[in-house]
Chain A
Amino acid sequence: MCNQTVSLAAAALEQRGITTVVLQFLKDVAIKVGPPRGLLVPFPHGFALGKPLDPAGQRDVLTQALSLLECQDLVPPHLSTYQNSTTTEKEG
């Protein structure tokens, strides 16, 4: 349910003029709900940024999320898939 709840929150924020990016676990749910700007992550529920105590891996996810915010040519709703750009092995 968290996939939907953060997406609904993002919609409310965007309505107030605030730019959002949400992480998502389940592609089918993300497509059904349609958050404005989403990044699909390849990790189990509860591990949105990957491994615990893995700052480099977590930062890589966040960096891609921030990059989505900067894209000016996206068509809403937009859904990207996280691509690991570190050498850190990921969970899931």
Chain B
Amino acid sequence: MAKTSELSLSVRLFLKAYPWRKINPTPWSPLQKPLSECRFALASSAGFVLPNQEPFDDHVKGGDPSYRWIPTDSDVGSLIETHRSQSFDHSGLEQDPNLGFPLDHFRTFEAEGRIGALNHRHLSFMGSITAPGRFTSRSAPEFSEALADDGVDAVLLVPV
């Protein structure tokens, strides 16, 4: 797995001092039916946007807490990665956006019956958020309610 020792010194020092937000207590919602009957959505923290959407804002102090909806019929190849961090190699995502937003794989899972159905929209946000207060108090409850209203049963979340 990735090791913090592989990161730059400045990033390592930041991570060492950073006050990580502990999830406590852990919310827990096990599946109530087989995956083959579940409605599925994807979430990516790569900061992907479609060409007609506003990119995530690099200049928001503490990180841009906003999110975008990616329609399920989107062409994965048209996604534009707008993640602000320079502490990782972006070349893989540029070459193959499925690395961060595996919609094509989930279309296959849906066709095979491995999952019940893909939701009509999926979630994109920009994960480089050092001050997550606005994300946890506004964005996350809002998109969670929206996906619950869509009837989504399960979500895969992919960081970068």
Interface residues of A (CB under 8 A from B): 1-29, 32-36, 40-53, 55, 58-59, 62, 65-66, 69-70, 72, 74, 76-77, 81, 92
Instruction: Tell me the nearest residue of chain A to B28, going by C-beta.
Output: A76
Q: Is B23 an interface residue (CB 8 A)?
A: yes
Give chain A residues whose Cβ lies under 8 Å from the Cβ of B31: 19, 69-70, 72
A17, A18, A34, A47: the one contacting B23 at CB < 8 Å is A34
1/0 per residue, CB under 8 A from A, across B130-145: the answer is 1010011000110111
In terms of DSSP, what is the predominant structure of the interface of chain B? loop
Q: Are A16 and B129 in touch, CB under 8 angstroms?
A: no
Q: Is B147 an interface residue (CB 8 A)?
A: yes
Bound-state Cα–Cα, A76 to B83, Å: 30
Q: Are B99 and A49 in touch, CB under 8 angstroms?
A: yes
Q: Are B158 and A23 in touch, CB under 8 angstroms?
A: yes
Q: Are B152 and A69 in touch, CB under 8 angstroms?
A: no
Q: Are B102 and A49 in touch, CB under 8 angstroms?
A: yes
